[in-house]
Amino acid sequence: MQFKILPGGAMSGEARVPGDKSISHRSIMLGALANGTTRVKGFLEGEDALATLAAFRAMGVHIEGPEHGNVTVHGVGLHGLTAPADALDLGNAGTGMRLICGLLAGQTFDAELTGDASLCSRPMGRVIDPLTMMGASIQSAQGGRPPLSIRGGQKLRSIHYELPMASAQVKSCVLLAGLYSEGCTSVAEPGPSRDHTERMLRGFGYPVRSVKGVISLQGGGSLQACDIDVPADISSAAFFLVAASIAPDSDLILTHVGINPTRIGVINILQLMGANITLQNHSEVGGEPVADIRVRSAALRGIEIPLDQVPLAIDEFPVLFVAAACATGRTVLRGAEELRVKESDRIAAMAEGLSTLGIINEVLEDGIIIEGGTFGGGVIKTYHDHRIAMSFAIAALRAEDEITVLDCDHVATSFPGFDSLARSLGLQIQAEAS
Ligand code: S3P
């Protein structure tokens, strides 16, 4: 499937984008490990979260749905999972693989984790290392890549782990293994990363301490089922925050968006660039802050992106690069080497697409320099990365000619229905068979 987008257009209306991917994964995992029945609403019915759901079904958890975002998880307790008959296939999902790896390290049975070509090229040494220190037994393919074979029946010991990079996936993996370890497991972060695991564990009645960047928990407790209301995903809303900012005459409201402080880098960065974004109707659902976000067209200016915002906007850089290309002047991003090991090398993939559309840019080892300019038209390679695909679709709002975005099937991993929602708000996008 590919997208064809006509140039120009304005974005207006009101929309609720699909549920948060990070929270959806975790709702299945913690729901499965809890005692009792967890009811989830607003669950993201995207391929990544569905792969996690299927993995827990394969480990004997009875899960009803999803139906219109409603999922009921009949928890089996921390020690109730059973051996899966086959390898667990996490598809494209790094979060699914890294968090489940932590859980599997503490089980009594053996299991294998695999995924698609993109996931099987991503580094897993970052979770294998701390888990091995805890006493887990994990085999990988060459270079610490999936598939992973995890040997059950290992007695885990608690560790203190200094994270070498700001990564919520590694942090969460170690904490989840810590549930199965004797004593206190703690993780020190070099900077804040998304804290959904900590918040949700507390929601399930499991004590977690966070003090000055050190997160710790005691093994051997239990989780009590609770209801979860998944907010709309700020990472999906980000495409429309940029869209309405760069398209003239736009005025858009995105409702019930999760605005967890560890996720709002995209709002902070766009506001520094001069975006007209306001938050209204603040509330809190299940320990996560949400709000409606109003965004109107604005003249953006290039900035040096503050280093402390990088982990808080890590998934939103592809579309922020589109904003930078529409800004006056130069935007500089540094300290973002993690972008090279996402679903694709996002620095390389975005630089290539920006160049195709006539935007001057310079690739850095850990970032990029983008000169504001004018998009022409062209054919864009996505490297099968959902966020690269959606970012270049948004670029068409300010292009002089038609843009074709190749290989867009992976958009369904995080944002099913992106093209129809974008069309209803004003993007002249068509999906067609490729
Ligand atoms: C995620 C953490 C981030 C993010 C990913 C989701 C999570 O990855 O990029 O999309 O749900 O924990 P890293 O932990 O690798 O930074």
pLDDT in tens, 297-325: 999 999 999 999 999 999 999 999 999 99
Residue 424 is predicted with a pLDDT of 98
pLDDT at residue number 434: 87
Does ligand 1 come within 6 angstroms of the Cβ of 47? no
Helix H or strand E segment including 234: helix 234-246
Fold matches, 2-19+231-432 and 21-229: yes
Residue 103 burial by CB count (10 A; 0-12/13-18/19+): exposed, middle or buried? buried
Domain 2-19+231-432: CATH architecture, name and number where available: Alpha-beta prism (3.65)
Q: Tell whether ligand 1 has an atom less than 6 A from the beta carbon of residue 22.
A: yes
Q: β-strand 288-296 against 367-371: which pairing, if any?
A: unpaired
Residue nearest to atom 4 of ligand 1 (CA): 315
- Whole-number pLDDT of residue 106: 97
Q: Which fold has domain 21-229?
A: UDP-n-acetylglucosamine1-carboxyvinyl-transferase; Chain (3.65.10)
Residue 315: CB within 6 Å of ligand 1? Answer: yes
pLDDT category of residue 408 using cuts at 50, 70 and 90: very high
Q: Is 95 close to ligand 1, i.e. is its CB under 6 Å away? A: yes
Say if ligand 1 is within 6 A of residue 413 CB.
no
Q: What is the mean pLDDT of the chain?
A: 98
Distance, CA of 320 to CA of 388 (rounded, Å): 11
> Which residues, in sequence order, are CB contacts of 249 under 8 Å at separation 6+?
10, 12, 297
pLDDT at 371 over 90: yes
List active site positions.
Answer: 315
Positive or negative: CA dihedral 241, 243, 245, 248:
negative
Q: What share of the chain in percent tops pLDDT 70? A: 100
Q: What share of the chain is helix, strand, coil (3-state, %, to 5)?
A: 35, 30, 40
pLDDT in tens, 230-272: 999 999 999 999 999 999 999 999 999 999 999 999 999 999 9
Q: How far is CA 335 from the centre of its chain?
A: 19
In short, whether 168's Cβ falls inside 6 Å of ligand 1 is: yes
Ligand 1 atom with the shortest distance to the CA of 197: 12
pLDDT confidence tier of residue 204, bands split at 50, 70 and 90: very high
Choose which residue among 122, 194, 388 to substitute to test ligand 1 binding: the one with the highest number of ligand atoms within 8 A of its C-beta: 194
* Residue 25 clears pLDDT 90, i.e. is over it: yes
**Nearest C-alpha neighbor of 56 from the set 12, 25, 14:** 25
Indicate whether residue 167 lines ligand 1 (CB < 6 A).
yes
Q: How far is the CA of 96 from the centre of ligand 1 (A)?
A: 10
pLDDT tens per residue, range 135-163: 999 999 999 999 999 999 999 999 999 99
314: Cβ below 6 Å to ligand 1? Answer: yes
With a cut of 90, say whether residue 428 has pLDDT above it.
yes
Compute, in angstroms, the gap from residue 431 CA to the centroid of ligand 1: 28
Per-residue pLDDT tens over the stretch 94-131: 999 999 999 999 999 999 999 999 999 999 999 999 99
Each residue's pLDDT tens digit, 162-191: 999 999 999 999 999 999 999 999 999 999
How far does residue 167's CA lie from ligand 1's centre (Å)?
A: 6
Ligand 1 center from residue 237 Cα (angstroms)? 17
DSSP characters for 95-156? HHHHHHHHHHTTSSS-EEEE--TTGGGS--HHHHHHHHHTT-EEEEEGGGEEEEEEES----
Q: Is the beta carbon of 338 within 6 A of some atom in ligand 1?
A: yes
The whole-number average pLDDT for the span 43-61 is 98
> Is the pLDDT assigned to residue 61 strictly greater than 90?
yes
Q: Of ligand 1's atoms, which has the minimum distance to the CA of residue 126?
A: 15
Contact 100, 88 (CB under 8 A): yes
pLDDT in tens, 63-80: 999 999 999 999 999 999
**Mean pLDDT value of segment 15-37:** 98
Residue nearest to atom 11 of ligand 1 (CA): 22
Q: What is the pLDDT of residue 350?
A: 99
- CA-closest residue to ligand 1 atom 13: 167
Of all protein residues, whose CA lies closest to atom 9 belonging to ligand 1? 315
Task: Give the three-class secondary structure for 319.
Answer: helix
Radius of gyration of the chain (CA): 21
Predicted local confidence at residue 286, as pLDDT: 87
Q: Is the CB of 27 under 6 A from ligand 1?
A: no
Provide the residue type at 355 as one letter: S
| Separation of CA 314 and ligand 1 centre (Å) | 8
Centre of ligand 1 to C-alpha 186, Å, is 19
E strand intervals along 143-250: 145-151, 160-162, 184-188, 209-211, 214-218, 228-229
In the reported structure, the alpha carbon of residue 169 is separated from the centroid of ligand 1 by a whole-number distance in angstroms of 5
Please tell me the predicted confidence (pLDDT) of residue 215: 98
Annotated domain spans of the chain = 2-19+231-432, 21-229
